A and B are shown apart, each in its own frame.
Chain A
C-alpha cells in the first residue's frame, strides 16, 4: 500500500536533547512538508522540500533542521534551541507544486519535559 509513515507515534524526551522524527513516503512524490500543530490550532509549516537535496524554511523554522538526501525520506530534527517543542508533528507529501493536494502521515506526538 502506498502512503506516508511516521515513527514513532509517541515520543518522550528530556529538555536539552535533540530528537529526530522520521517521515517516509512510497508515493513517488517530489515535494515533502513538515507541519506543527498545537492544541486547538491549525497546522503551521516548519520546513518543506520540493526536490532532493533542497529544502526551504517555512513559517516557524527556528529550532528545527531537516535533510532531504533521498526522495522517500524527509527527517525532522527538533533541536534543543526550540523553546516549545512539545506538539503534534505531521509530515506530508504532494506530487508537485501549486494546486496539488497534500497527503499526510499519521503524525508524531512529541512531549519534552
Chain B
C-alpha cells in the first residue's frame, strides 16, 4: 500500500527566507507521481508542483522546487524567498498504479512571519 508521511505539523519561517517542508513516501509501484498542494484558509486545494518517478531532474515551478531523492523515498518541497501569502497548509501526495488516485499526507502548517 502507498503511504505519505509528513513529520512536521507546523513550521515558522521569516519573510524572504527559504523553507523546506519534508515528505517521505512508501510504494511498491515502479511508476508513481509525487505532488505538492497548498491549502489556504479558504479551503481550496491549489496544485503547486509535480515530480514523476522517472524524471531525472528535480521539478521547479517559480519559487517552488521539489528535492526528489528516490533512494531515500523523499520528496521535500523547497519554497524560496517566502512571502506572507505563503502561509497555509501544505500537503504532499502521490499517485501510482493504473489510476490517478491521490494519497495524501497529514500536512504541514506553514506560518510566514514579517
Name A's B-contacting residues (CB within 8 A). 31, 33, 35, 40-45, 48, 50, 56, 58, 88, 90, 92, 94, 96-107, 109
Contacts and interface: CB of A to CB of B under 8 A. Distances in A.
Classify chain B: how many residues form its interface, as a range: 20 to 34
B7 to A, nearest CB: 13
Given A43-B45, A98-B100, A103-B47, 7 more contacts: A40-B107, A56-B99, A58-B101, A90-B45, A94-B100, A98-B33, A104-B37
**Residue of A31, A94, A97 with most chain B CB atoms under a 10 A cut-off:** A97
B47 A102 contact: yes
Contacts of A102: 47, 100, 102
Interface string B25-62: 00000010101010000111111001010000000000
Contacts of A58: 101
A37 B17 CA distance: 30
